[in-house]
Amino acid sequence: MARKRKITQTRVTALLPYSIELTKLKSGNTLDVQVRAGDELLGTLKMGRGSVQWWPRGNRINMLWKSWHDFAEMLNRNMGRPPRGDKSAGH
């Protein structure tokens, strides 16, 4: 008999104190998104006007930093969609 897999619900919470225009990350007007699997924090995505940072759980020193342009390219590359204007897709 097959065992049932335990399903852990992923929860993503955006901490929105009010509607803001994002400014530089160090200004305090950033958008922080906490990503959790059940009660376990997987990491925090910090978004500012010029860049995006990923802070893995328990890590206060090393984070992944990307400009918005580089972040969009990374998502397109890893999620299977070619960047806008890319003629190498064979179309």
Domain definitions of the chain by residue range: 28-83
Of 43-47, 65-69, 82-86, least confident by mean pLDDT is 82-86
pLDDT value of position 54:
92
Which residue, chain included where needed, has tokens 């020193």? 61
Cα Rg, the chain, nearest whole Å: 17
The contacts found for 50-55 with CB under 8 angstroms, 24 or more apart, are: 50/24, 50/25, 51/25, 53/25
pLDDT value of position 90:
45
64 within 8 A of 54, measured Cβ to Cβ: yes
Question: Taking 70 as the threshold, does the pLDDT of residue 20 lie above it?
Answer: no
Q: How far is CA 80 from CA 5, 72, 89, in A?
A: 28, 12, 11
pLDDT value of position 30:
76
pLDDT value of position 81:
62
Confidence of residue 84 (pLDDT cuts 50, 70, 90): low
